[in-house]
Amino acid sequence: MSLHGSYLPPPPPPLRYEAIPTPEELRSRIEPWVVFDFSYAMLTTPHDEKHTYGAINTLLGSIFPVSRRFKTTPQAVLCRAIPPDAVFSAPMLERDVSTGSSGAYHQSSEAGGIEHELQYTDFITAKWVSEPSTSMHVYYLMGIFEIKRDKDTLSEAEGQVKGYLMTAYPRLWRRRDLPAYLFIGGIGEVRKYVFGILENGNVGAVIARIFHLSNPVDAEALLLDLCSAASDCWNRSNVDEYPLA
């Protein structure tokens, strides 16, 4: 089989079923040096946020292993989606609209002025799964991660992370309770945001919990929170599979 003149290997076999590990079991599999490296990176003030990327990437890779077809993507791009009820409106029918890899509608990237519609996250975790109606493999979003060097830009960072989460909201292929995490260096704080109902009755991003990594109980709770997401989707192999995480 060829693709643009290059050889493409045959598709992999179906994901092999495994006994689903508990969050506690997954936590016990994380190498101690990985936890120490992550904690050290977060509890000291780095010269730049990129100095925390390696520690966070290693932690996510330990919790979301490639053997279960989890994928951690740095500098992952979120493209603003077109609401489903607007896709077939008169203005949109005149444009080239396609379905993205996580199940949202987008205007063609060839259209002018599209660059401002892109958002660059620090990391996104997803699972490589099949979409039964098309026999395609797509990405089932698991979590969004943003890292800041310190708390100096906290207000701006919160708006940024909430924007990421709401950009992901129209995706068909995501956890129903898709979280976004804001990692703040120096003070060792991690803020978790989820979808919620705002005072005006609309769906918005709300803060679910703040983890203080200087507190051993909170630090452990964050690891178990992430491990719980991996456990929930351990055997998920397609977007329709029950139960929805």
pLDDT of residue 243: 42
pLDDT of residue 83: 55
| Domain-located, residue 48 | yes
Q: How many domains does the chain have?
A: 1
β partners of residue 196? 204
| Domain-located, residue 103 | no
| Domain-located, residue 106 | no
In this predicted model, what pLDDT tens digit does every residue of 64-117 receive, in sequence order?
999 999 999 998 888 665 555 554 554 544 444 444 444 444 454 444 444 345
- What is the DSSP pairing of strand 77-79 with strand 118-120? antiparallel
Does this model's pTM top 0.85? My answer is: no
Q: What is the domain extent for residue 37?
A: 27-79+118-232
| Domain-located, residue 239 | no
Q: Going by C-beta distance under 8 Å and a sequence separation of 6 or more, which residues neighbour residue 147?
A: 49, 52, 53, 56, 122, 123, 182, 183, 185
- pLDDT band per the 50, 70, 90 thresholds, residue 225: very high
Q: Which residue has the higher pLDDT, 228 or 95?
A: 228
| Domain-located, residue 107 | no
| Domain-located, residue 157 | yes
Query: Does the CA dihedral 240-171-222-46 come out positive or negative?
Result: positive
What's the chain's average pLDDT? 82
* Three-class SS state of 68: helix
β partners of residue 144? 124, 180
CATH number, domain of 60, equals 3.90.1570
β partners of residue 156? none
DSSP state of 76: -
| Domain-located, residue 89 | no
| Domain-located, residue 178 | yes
% of the chain beyond a pLDDT of 70: 76
